Amino acid sequence: MNADNTTAKQYRSYDHAQKQRDGYDFTIDYDGNWYYHSGALAGPIKREKLAALFGGAGHGFMAGKGLLIDEDGKYWLRSPDGQYGVDVEDVPFVIVDYSFDSNGDLVFVTNFDEQVFVRESGDVFLKEEPLCGEPVLYCHVRKGLVARVSRAVFASLIFDGVLDEADAGYVLHCGTHDFTLGVLS
């Protein structure tokens, strides 16, 4: 169920020198695109596999590593070379698709093809989306890192009957589980 239409990526322009002065070697923009702010290579990281490696997605020695969030809410990229500051505009990942596993559990897919299994009520939560102020689903990916469910996937969840709006707020239907997500005040 690919809910997002694939289009050409739109990259933003950043003042790379200012980002470095602010202590950031990387930025993850609102759409989940990565940028590098140092030297001649400053600009968007267009190689998806490299950005996924930095984000800790996939398999291999950096799986589940790389990007981390500390107790102060600051993001860091940890590599064998050192630790680098990362500016994250909203959250580091975007949910671009979903499916159900053989048990009927909801499985979200991030912009780096990482699977996120929704099995407990705390895995998914409702929060005001920073750009438009509308309620949007977010989910925990791993180790304090969070993904925002894209608008297209959010709409598909409603259209497909996986997400309903009820008196008590939104209800997410995941196999044999129904998770009440509440309302935004």
- Could you report the per-residue pLDDT of 34-73, keeping only the tens digit for each? 999 988 888 899 988 888 888 887 666 666 678 999 999 9
Same domain (yes/no): 77, 57: yes
Same domain (yes/no): 73, 34: yes
Same domain (yes/no): 68, 132: no
What is the per-residue pLDDT for 148? 95
Reported confidence tier of residue 3, pLDDT bands at 50, 70, 90? low
Most confidently predicted of 4-8, 17-21, 30-34, 122-126: 30-34
- Could you report the per-residue pLDDT of 163-180, keeping only the tens digit for each? 888 777 788 888 777 888
pTM of the shown model: 0.85
Domain enclosing residue 52, as ranges:
16-88
CA distance linking residue 172 with residue 139, whole number of Å? 12
Same domain (yes/no): 77, 99: no
- Among residues 45, 60, 88, which one ends one of the domains? 88
Residue 9 lies in a domain: no
CA distance linking residue 65 with residue 55, whole number of Å? 7
Q: Is the pLDDT of residue 6 over 60?
A: no
Which helix H or strand E contains 18, and what residues bound it?
A: helix 16-21
Q: Identify the CA nearest to 152 among candidates 3, 1, 21, 2.
A: 3
CATH number at residue 20: 3.10.540.10
Same domain (yes/no): 51, 101: no
How many folded domains does the chain comprise?
Answer: 2
Same domain (yes/no): 99, 177: yes
